[in-house]
A and B are shown apart, each in its own frame.
Chain A
Amino acid sequence: MRLNKVVALGKKILRDTFTAGHVTFKEMFSRFRQVLENHNRALEIIADMGDKLGGDYIFDINYIRNSYAGLYATLTESLASFDVLTQHEYPRLKDALDRIDKEIRLLVYKNGESAQREFVLPYSALTGSMAHEVGGKNANLAELKNNVVPDIPDAFALTAFAYDEFIRHNKINEMISELEGKDMYPKAASLPQKVSDFSGTPALNKIHTSIVNGSIPSGIEHALDKALSMFRAKYGDKCFLAVRSSAEAEDGEFSFAGQFDTVLNVPLESSAVQEAYKRVIASLFSDKAAAYHQQLGLPVGSVKMAVGCVLMVDAAVSGVIYSTNPNGDAGTMIINSTWGLGTSVVEGQTDADFYVVRKGKEPVIISKRIGEKRSMAVGLEGGGVTQVQTSAAMTGQSSLLEEQALGLAKKAMLIENYFRQPQDIEWAIDRDGKIFILQARPLRIASSVEPEAGCSESLQASNSFVPDVRNILMKARGNVVQKGVGSGRVFMFKHADGLGDFSRGDVLVARNDSSDFIRVMPYASAIITDTGSLTSHMASLCREFKVPAFVNAGAATKLLKHGQEVTVTADDEAMLTVYDGILREVLAHARSGLAAMEDIYEYRKKRYVLRYISPLNLLDPLMERFTPEGCRTIHDILRFIHEKAVMELIDNAMNGLKGQAAMKLELPIPAGIIVVDIGGGLDQTMNCAAGSHSVTFEQVVSMPLRAVLQGMMQPGAWHSGPVSLRVNDFLTSMMRLPDIVSGNDSYAANNVAVVSHEYLNLSLRFGYHFNMIDCYCSETARNNHIYFRFTGGATDMAKRSRRIELISIILKEYGFNTKSKGDLIIGRIANMGRGDMEKILDSIGRLIAYTRQLDAVLHDDTKVERYARNFLGGIYEL
């Protein structure tokens, strides 16, 4: 299609009259410049927001509002110019901007009131930016399913709007607002001495019960029934659903890992799903969820709960992947795996298999530890899940085949690359061996806090502190979940019911890890378990709250005694040390580095807005999603506008000829170029009087044209000797363009350069092939781009393709992104300073000259590399 366009344009040039469209090229060019200027301003605002919200500044909502207002105004202005430029070719871009703007305004002005009015939405209708409507988990998973890994079971979401409706309908909002005034969840400093002293429990229980006994409003019931009957029609009656929580922002900024109920193996019946739904949303008001809220400084009831209904996978094996090893080599990932359903892995209940895989194009398993896996979770036929003993044959046997582990690793890398941050992924493999992804959320990796130059002294001083070895009660190797130091009395965990006696500052010691521990997390100064998993919910929560935690410590429950005062250190080297007594020096050292801005809820909440502003998803203009609909952030919209504005300019540059004085360019080489100056591209002072219609190289003051011409005129590059065409090349050329007489090195004046001082659009036709350069070359690197296109040729396809290959090698060497197909190649490069731009343009000029007849000598593939090297080495002989 592009080729056709070029041919059409080439033909147009030979005629005198053109269809100029509604806008003159000069006008178009000035619009283009407005787009560029706004593009710049917008990117500067985005960069400033990233900077000011990056943790080094104290900011307030006014800053965000003002910045965003500026950004929005800039974008609107840019869009107006863009619409004129493209003659309203992309009306849906405004819709995309409105959609993103709505999300941002919800965050910046209201407090996330959902604008969405559906009770049920299929995953196919969701995008990753709909966390407010359907919760973070649903939004994330749907995003993955629709764009990255289709191997996610079919699902639908019960929205936040449905939650609001349910709460209103059952008058639960009144109970929630009753909670508000009461200081049930005081700040850590004023926590009651014991967990059981929590005054919130009765009020929470009341809400919990009201939800479980509540009635589903008819609107929700109707929408749910519709979704269920569609599932039945598609998958039959025999399948089950996993009904999972998807709280607002869950799995986004805050993990809420394991805080809410998931009901597995729910039959496809309305009543069963309704019960499960109520159970899941009721879990928003459980003790442990309330404790989590408190940790974040969130009022209980301020988070809305959407729910995901996901088709159950009949899992033979399942588990969790950390796509980046949180406690070791970041080039590796961790896979935990067990028989049956994955609940025991995420609850840390079973001694799961553990694989460490080196990331890469071809991942490699570098170590594994096969766990005993004494029990496994399985679905019951009538619905529900039970825990059964693993058969003797399966105990101690690797639950994953090597190729399965590697297959999982590859998917995990895809997901990590897509979200561009480490992921905590739940997966399952069904009885046919098919891999499914069940969940993916950002993985929190504790970054070591670098002390600032001014305050490192105390840290360094305490680094040299070595505690007395006689104090050591135990030292163990295992897995550090969250490094750090804590001290207090040992609380030996026996059963969840006993957690009421846990006191402030206690060190929790248990055989296994459990997400039940969230209840005591505001109180715990450290957590140690004999066995456990780096990938459990408890592990996620410890990292999130920076509670020092260590799993697989071996015999902590035997070596430590209930009530004994200890100081615990979990260090970088996967080493746990427990000292007798409270060692203040050790504590002082450890605390200095722990606190980080990311721990502040308000900060994370306010910064959340950047998610709709800064990330760039539209990376490749040739990708399918490079559409207004594909824009998910302000940055995407800017990128789209910029790309399409450049393309528009390229496609229309030829129209600029109309009404402009075209000047013949006199060069020492017979390139046959006509120049149309749209502003500051030519110095015409010397031949105005003479009324001349030609200019010389000296008069070219357009920076990009001058650079390209310099390259073209480079001694030796413009090969002028005859290159013999073989018979079949000659025949091909006759068949392709029979009206053109070959063998003449002097090109008719059919090559056009549209120039300004900073801009060049150059179309060159040499015999049978076309070169096109579109370039903006100014003092501002961000404005600059080169778009280079080469197509056609007289020789047979194989030779033409070789020339394309050669050009591709050379362009890549200069840093171009290239795309090629057959005898067409497109190269782009942008964001480069003027000096570098000029160097590259000079090289492109040489390349244009050099490649004119090159295809004729590319008899076999080996020549490609050789001539490419020659060219790069400054040798231009053919």
Chain B
Amino acid sequence: MEDYMNNYRIMIIDDEKIVGDMAKMSLEQEGYAVETFLNGEAALARLLEQKFEVVVTDLKMKGVDGMEVLRTVKQLYPDVKVIMITAFANLDTAIEALRGDVHDFFPKPVKIKELKASIQRALSNS
């Protein structure tokens, strides 16, 4: 993959392996460097040592959830875009997330094309 990597790093956080696996494969095809995490704790630890241009996170997770990821990311790197995905299209949480400066919000299942387009927008805005 290193042959046509375009330097953008994407972080995927979801407590279900398949979400990370599918997102990673799809986004690597676009040339992004993708790292996946199964919980918020590990992801935040990694964020301390490495900046990612876009963070895609599940909303509902045990322990550190998507909202906490969002807050921490914005504290560490205000310019980093966060995309929220969730199994529960809960309007209240969505509004809260949007107030918290989330870049985009997708209910699962997420259409891969739309996720790619959203990431592209996030990168071109930054």
Contact = CB atoms under 8 A, between A and B. Distances in A.
A606 interface: yes
Interface in A797-851: none
B53 interface: no
Given A58-B26, A62-B87, A455-B29, A602 B18 contact: yes
A584 B1 CA distance: 11
Interface residues of A, number: 26
B9 to A, nearest CB: 15
Interface stretch (B74-82, B94-102, B105-113): B105-113
Interface in A57-95: 57-63
A58 B115 CA distance: 9
B16 interface: yes
Nearest to A451: B29
A52 interface: yes
Contacts of B21: 600-603
Contacts of B25: 595, 597, 599-600
B22 A595 contact: no
A597 B22 contact: yes
B110 A57 contact: yes
B92 interface: no
Determine which residue in A59, A61, A597, A599 has the highest number of CB atoms from chain B within 10 A of its CB, and name it: A59
B29 A56 contact: no
A60 B14 contact: yes
Nearest to A453: B113
A602 B17 contact: yes
Interface in A572-602: 584, 587-588, 591-592, 595, 597, 599-602
A599 B18 CA distance: 12
Given A58-B110, A60-B16, A587 B3 contact: yes
Interface in B1-31: 1, 3-4, 14, 16-19, 21-23, 25-26, 28-30
A458 interface: yes
B112 A58 contact: yes
Contact of A591 (B3, B18, B85, B112): B3
A602 B19 CA distance: 9
Interface residues of B, number: 26
A58 B108 contact: yes
> Would you call the interface of chain B mostly helix, strand, loop, or mixed?
helix
Given A58-B26, A60-B19, A597-B25, A592 B112 contact: no
A458 B22 contact: no
B57 to A, nearest CB: 13
Contacts of B85: 58
B4 A59 contact: no
A61 to B, nearest CB: 6
B111 A62 contact: no
A56 B112 contact: yes
Contacts, number: 72
Interface string B111-125: 111011000000000
Contacts of A587: 3
Given A60-B14, A591-B3, A600 B108 contact: no
Contacts of A62: 87, 108
Contacts of B110: 57-59
A601 B19 CA distance: 12
Contact of A592 (B19, B29, B87): B29
A62 B17 CA distance: 13
Given A63-B109, A595-B25, A597-B25, A58 B3 contact: no
A588 B22 contact: no
Contacts of A458: 4
Nearest to A48: B109
B18 A588 contact: no
Determine which residue in B1, B23, B115 has the highest number of CB atoms from chain A within 10 A of its CB, and name it: B1
A60 B1 contact: no
Contact of B23 (A58, A591, A595): A58
A58 B109 contact: yes
A454 B115 CA distance: 13
B87 A58 contact: no
Nearest to B114: A57
A58 B28 contact: no
A595 B1 CA distance: 11
Contact of A63 (B29, B87, B111): B87
A630 B35 CA distance: 46
Contacts of B111: 56-57
B74 to A, nearest CB: 24
Contact of B108 (A60, A591, A597): A60
Interface in B62-87: 85, 87
A590 to B, nearest CB: 10
Contacts of A591: 1, 3-4
A58 B22 contact: yes
B87 A588 contact: no
Contact of A588 (B3, B14, B115): B3
Nearest to A56: B112
A592 B28 CA distance: 9
28 contacts: A57-B110, A57-B111, A58-B18, A58-B22, A58-B26, A58-B108, A58-B109, A58-B115, A59-B18, A59-B22, A60-B14, A60-B16, A60-B87, A63-B87, A455-B30, A588-B3, A588-B4, A591-B4, A595-B29, A599-B25, A600-B22, A601-B21, A602-B17, A602-B22, A603-B18, A603-B21, A603-B22, A606-B18
Given A597-B22, A601-B21, 19 more contacts: A52-B109, A56-B111, A57-B111, A58-B22, A58-B26, A58-B112, A59-B18, A60-B18, A63-B109, A455-B29, A591-B4, A592-B4, A592-B29, A595-B25, A595-B29, A599-B25, A600-B21, A600-B22, A600-B25
